[in-house]
Every structure is written in C-alpha cells, then in structure tokens.
Amino acid sequence: MATPLLEVADLACRRGGRRVFERLSFSLGPGELLALIGRNGSGKTTLLRALALLMRPEAGTIRWQGVEARGEPDVWRGRLGWLGHLEGLKADLTVAENLLAAERLRGAPPAEDRLDSALVAFDLSSLAQRAVRTLSAGQRRRTALARVVLTQAPIWLLDEPLNALDAPAQAAFREALATHLESGGVAIAATHADLGLPGGRTLELGTPT
C-alpha cells in the first residue's frame, strides 16, 4: 500500500448510551476505497459522522497526512465531500442553485465553470433549472452525488450512495468514483450493495448489541 493519507486509529464511538464500535483502525492511501458493510445499526453511519467530526468519538485519532483532524477542524472539513443519509438539498431551489449554493457555503471559488461537468456526469443537464421538489428520489440522489463531485474534495464520505439509483445512475456513480480515485482521492462508503469497483477494500462492522 502507498503511504497512507488517512489514518484512523483506535476509534470508539458511543451512541444512545451504548458503544457502537471500539478500537477501530484502518488507513487509506491515495486512490483507495473503503466500503463499510454490516447490518442495520452496526455503526456505519456513526463511523462516517465521526470521521466528518459531526459527532465526537469517545476515543481514537483521525489523521490526514499525519495531522490530527480535530486539531484543524475547519481545514479537515474543507477536504470532505459529504453525502449523508439525507440528500441535503433545498426543495424550493433548482438543481443548479442547490449545487452552487452548497459550493458557496463551503467558501469555495466560483463553481459555475465546473457545474456543467458535474451535471453531465449524472445526466442532470436537462433538470438543472427544475426545482428539487419536482424530482424523483433517484434524481435527488443524483443531484446530491453531483454536489459531492463538484466539491473536488480529496475525501469522499458517502452514506448509501447507491440508494434509489437506477442502473444508468449507478454506472454514472461508479465512473465518477473511479475518476475521483484515479486522481488520488480516497473514499469511504457505507453500503449494503456492491459498489462494483475492483480493488476496493471492505470493513465489516460488528453486529449491533
């Protein structure tokens, strides 16, 4: 394995009074994908939220290129492309407005010139001016994935990215993910389905207690 970019050591999280996982360690080098698998309630989403610093782990460290993420939380967050269980889209804004607003909220440079390629990647060009509330579940998921692509963030954290996607949309996601990994990024995805990319590693989280 190449020199690790992301190193997670002895991570432990507690939720609702119970320990979800403990002593969880892994590392990812450039271009590596980690699929989190496990039953409902096994802690996949909790792990993703802990990695994003959306919740405080009970113990453990998260390092990016040797630097503790919690030491520079704003810098760390700026490196994340996030797809949560919820899409994170405003129903009354159009697809294009949602994507551009999300980029502006990240304080990123103007994204208008990058917008088209993100829309094309998920076949959203014809829907760009449609309000999100008029879209199907799959179209919303594609929009949320396009938002992740638009970030150009080196770390993708994805919670069930294939949810509600039809076969062409799943293929588009795999292509976008492959491009991200080829460019040296890393990705961690909680999933119940096969992500369909060769060489990806898996981490099975324990049975919920």
Instruction: Report the nearest approach of another protein to the CB of residue 122 (Å).
Output: 18
**In the complex, least distance from residue 196 CB atom to another protein, rounded to whole angstroms:** 25
- Residue 49 or 114: which CB sits closer to another protein? 49
CB 176 within 8 A of CB 153: no
Residues lying near another protein in the complex (CB under 8 A): 49, 52, 54-56, 74-75, 77-78, 80, 82, 84-93, 97, 101-102, 104-107, 131
CA angle, 172 as apex, 43 and 166 as ends, to 5°? 75
Output b/e per residue, 89-118; b: 16+ Cβ within 10 A: beeebbbbbbbbbbbeebebeebeebbeeb
Torsion of CA 147, 72, 74, 62, to 10 degrees: 30
Nearer to another protein, 55 or 178 (CB): 55
Q: Which is nearer to another protein, 39 or 56 (CB)?
A: 56
Residue 91 vs 171, nearer CB to another protein: 91
Rg (CA), the chain: 17
Nearer to another protein, 90 or 174 (CB): 90
Nearest distance from residue 55's CB to another protein, in Å?
4
Cα–Cα separations (whole angstroms), residue 102 to 16, 78, 97, 111: 30, 12, 8, 10
Q: Residue 103 has which token pair?
A: 């980029």
Minimum Å distance from CB 184 to another protein? 20
CB of 143 to another protein, least distance (A): 12
- Order the strands of the 18-28 sheet from edge to edge: 18-28, 6-15, 59-64, 67-68
